[in-house]
Structure 1
């Protein structure tokens, strides 16, 4: 009915133009209705989960500090002049007139400031910070084999069994890869992958050998109790799956009961394993979209904190055969993923991995990060996290009724739907809660 109405409106405009040639047709473009009425920011802010927003705030604060620590680690004596650090304002999102030195003084347990004989201000790491740096190196060494597995599995999921090295760099800290992984680490495991260059000298990481034991999704392992050591998986061939995804909703999200049937239908739908060849899947089909959900679920399962910056995910749409409007799919499957739009870069969480604002299972790197967090004294600007609010009926229906990328087309002026793109070195936002408040805020919500 809607499609017919659109056609009638379009024909009317054409006829009117033919009969009155002196009157130009107003400029209209065919666009998806979600562009004007369902912006990502509008939809995400109406279904916020307090605990995961708090987790986002913690990450934003510590990311600034970790960036500076990593910068100092590259210096010969792990000491750098404060003037030199000024070039990294954008990475830690510290606008002028705020001083780098003031930022550093907020964490005296991690950073030491002193002046030389010429009055030049220098910054170095405290003994506690140096011990944490050494501990991190030990952890990265111990967990290196697991990182090799995850990188190999990312290659196994990709359509060409190769990925640009610079794209993998986006996941470096999330996967527990060392700072110099592009120069040294990737060359240590020639039996798993190798670095190759194309005609434009762009570096790629190619899969060397297929491991059938790694072609089993984390969801399969958890639900079926499988292990990569089981003899039954030695010859595993990825194919169709019918496993339901774990879902977790806020306790005050009441409307979910109204759409239980649609969710149940989605969960029972068969889908292709992320490790199976998806070249023949039709973009926009239900099978295509559900496999994309499985790919994102698998990728998030690899990450240390089961979360990622969403624009890092969008870089892999072609390689992992995922839809163009990936953000829309993440928002649609609210019970599986949670998108936080706090700050300039959106983050997506795997909801099943969290209990409140804490990870249920913490890897060594996540535990190490908490140790650093306890030594941070920085206090940013406190910003209120708004209360959870049910989605309006029209938006709620859209989340459950449409599994296709094809939306109702409407005639409307063009609006920009593109999210702001930021440099991958930037990990911060200029509005944080105070750390002391982060852990105790919203206890009654």
Structure 2
């Protein structure tokens, strides 16, 4: 097995390249962006829905054959409810999606009371097959993105549990440790964690590919021409309508954008802590991580946990809130989600990964046929347009989150140290400083 290559270290820069942090006593407003909130909120219940779908359709010893595909006893699903992260009782969750799941009561055998079983609909089977083919077609892409993530880590390894937590956002198959990693022995190996706690395992990098050690920011700059390592690169800024930076913050931001761009794939341990240059490298790291994710967003807790293993500073939350033109923090769905602003136009991804297209089709299936008893049927049917059927529910109507209210949203904002504003924004004003 070839040894892991040494870290790619930068030349140390003179101290005058590393000014101390000048971003002080600045209050950054948080303005609700309804379009980006919608990008988050429309995926409500999608992950537990997908987990239940996989339980039904992926190979399982508990599964039994049925005329329309795999069927599982409701009791078996109920026993796995915590693992599936179902938001409420399994039977209630299943009945929310009649276009995806069918509840059956088979004929009793030997006088025993009948046990209800759940099976997938034809539409769900068809989407699952499409997803299986898409995962197969994007295996190389998934391996490259996972490789890049490991290349960002100073020790070129990450806990397998952290990778598994990011599996959905990375677009990896549910059983990636068995189905994907063995196909790339020159990329990855699973090794015991140095902590040795509870048999913990790490995913370690085997091959460092210099051709992949180019950030999204650098790739874009190279396309426009004239970029060389160490030059200044300005991050694209997209502010919500009605957002206005304080004068001192705006002046700081203009000077900060002019600082040299240090790639997240380069070692930054020589940078002075709490300097503006160190903060620019941290933002570059967050920017690259979000670019590696197929939805270009993830829960803030995921970023904080990952940051601990990427060598990012402890004040990561403040770094995110200092740059509202680069990152948007949504408080929907009882959590905080960090969204890469430049990746979205309103609530639509600018570049849609094939898996995201399929996820939007799952969302459409989830909404199709809901509440057939007539409750709110007319109101919700208006939210699914002909364009949704073609584009995969990119613009389904915004639904009210029954389990979330504005008071809780304000509490989340206060906990993150963001000054909240009552304004809401539908559109975005784009501001791109010159490089």
The two structures have a TM-score, normalised by structure 2, of: 0.71
What's 1:205 paired with? 203
In 2, distance between residues paired with 1:356 and 1:257? Answer: 27
Q: 2:100, 2:124 within 8 Å by CA — same for their partners in 1?
A: yes
Deviation, structure 1 residue 381: 5.3
Q: Hey, what's the Cα distance between the residues in 2 that align with 1:93 and 1:283?
A: 42
Q: Which residue number in structure 1 is paired with residue 87 of structure 2?
A: 94
Is the counterpart of residue 83 in structure 1 residue 75 in structure 2? yes
- 1:281, 1:288 within 8 Å by CA — same for their partners in 2? yes
- Looking at structure 2, the residues matched to 257 and 301 of structure 1 have their Cα atoms a distance apart, in angstroms, of 30
1:87 CA drift (Å): 3.6
1:154 aligns with 2:146: no
Distance 2:343 2:51 in 1: 25
Kindly indicate whether residue 42 of structure 2 is the aligned counterpart of residue 58 of structure 1: yes
For 1:238-257, list aligned pairs within 5 A.
240-255=230-245
Instruction: Quote the residue 1:124 is aligned against.
Output: 119
Residues 241 and 427 in structure 2, CA contact (< 8 A), matched pair in contact too: no
- The equivalent residue for 2:283 is 293
Residues 137-286 of structure 1 aligned to structure 2 (within 5 Å): 137-198=132-193, 200=196, 201-225=199-223, 240-255=230-245, 259-286=249-276
SS of 1:183's partner is: helix
Query: Alpha-carbon deviation of 1:158?
Result: 0.7
- Superimposed CA distance per residue, residues 313-372 of structure 1 (whole angstroms, 9 cap, x where no aligned partner): 111223312111212211111000001122332111000011111111111001111111
107 and 417 in structure 1: CA distance in 2 versus 1, 3 angstrom threshold: closer
In the TM superposition, what whole-angstrom CA distance separates every residue of 1:379-422 from its partner, at most 9, and x where no partner exists? 77546987xxxxxxxx9xxxxxxxxxxxxxxxxxxxx9699xxx
Distance 1:241 1:61, change over 3 A: farther
Equivalent in the alignment of 1:70 = 54
Q: 2:307 aligns with which of 303, 307, 317?
A: 317
Change (3 A) 1:87 1:286: farther
Contact 2:99-2:123 at 8 Å conserved across structures: yes
How far off its partner does 1:103 sit? 2.2
Q: RMSD of the alignment, in Å?
A: 3.2
Cα distance between partner residues in 2 of 1:185 and 1:174: 16
CA distance in 2, matches of 1:192, 1:176: 17
Counterpart contact for 1:278–1:321, Cα < 8 Å: no
The separation in 1 between residues aligned to 2:306 and 2:33, in whole angstroms, is 27
Structure 2 stretches of 5 or more lacking a match?
1-26, 65-69, 372-398, 407-412, 418-423, 429-435
| Cα displacement (A) at 1:282 | 3.6
Q: Provide the C-alpha distance between the structure 1 equivalents of 2:138 and 2:358, rounded to a whole number of angstroms.
A: 13
What does 1:33-44 align with in structure 2 at a 5 Å threshold?
Answer: none
Q: What are the ranges of 5 or more consecutive residues in structure 1 without an aligned counterpart? A: 1-37, 387-394, 396-415, 420-440
Say which is worse superposed, 338-347 or 145-154, in terms of deviation: 338-347
CA contact (8 A) 2:169 2:294 kept: yes
The residue that corresponds to 1:103 in the other structure is: 93
Q: SS at 2:166's partner residue?
A: helix
In structure 2, C-alpha distance between the alignment counterparts of 1:342 and 1:217, rounded to whole Å: 29
Query: Secondary structure, in 3 states, of the residue corresponding to 1:323?
Result: coil
Alpha-carbon separation, structure 2, partners of 1:291 and 1:301: 15
Kept after mapping to 2: 8 A contact 1:307/1:350 = yes
TM-score normalised per structure 1: 0.70
Structure 1 Cα separation of the partners of residues 342 and 425 of structure 2: 21
Check whether the contact 1:289–1:322 (CA below 8 A) recurs between aligned residues.
no
Q: Is the CA contact 1:50–1:385 (under 8 Å) kept in the aligned structure 2?
A: no
Name the structure 2 match of 1:365. Answer: 355
Match in the other structure for 1:423 = none
